[in-house]
Structure formats: structure tokens, C-alpha cells
Amino acid sequence: MAFVYLLIVLLIVNDVSISEYFTHPGDAFSTMFSSLLNITAVDVIILSSGLVGTVASGVVIKLLRKSGYQMF
């Protein structure tokens, strides 16, 4: 799920629509990389906290399943 989160972060940071990646990939990816380089420290803290939460929840779910806990 951490990989999915990284894709979501790229979509949040970039202002280009998803269809632009297929119709004009060169422009869309260059805009995405320039947007990533221009994010502020506050954005980095918020987005990295979300990544830490995603990884921590995955670890906790695995530990709970090893302990015999079933969610459904």
C-alpha cells in the first residue's frame, strides 16, 4: 500500500490531470518533477507523516494477524 500512497502523493502535488500523462507525457512528467522540487517543508512533513502512518498501519495489521486476530 505504500506504493499506492506514493502515486497518490504525486497526484496531489501535481496540478496536471491524469489524462495528460497519456496524451502529453513529456510535458506532464516534467511538470510533475518541477512541482515535486518546489514543495515546501510543511508539505513534506504532512506527506511524509501520511507515509509513516501507511507503513505503521501495515505493520500493525500484520502483527495482529500473526496473533490470530481476524477482522472479518
Q: Helix crossing, 2-13 with 25-37: angle to 10°? A: 90
**Predicted structure pTM score:** 0.68
Residue 20 lies in a domain: yes
Give the chain's length.
Answer: 72
Residue 71 lies in a domain: no
Residue 22 lies in a domain: yes
What's the rounded Cα separation, in Å, for the pair 13 and 39?
Answer: 8
Domain count, the chain: 1
Residue 72 lies in a domain: no
Q: Which domain holds residue 31?
A: 2-66
Exposed, middle or buried, 53 (CB in 10 Å: 0-12/13-18/19+)?
exposed
Q: What is the pLDDT of residues 36-65, one digit of tens each?
A: 888 889 989 998 999 999 899 989 999 999
Selected residue with higher pLDDT from 71 and 32: 32
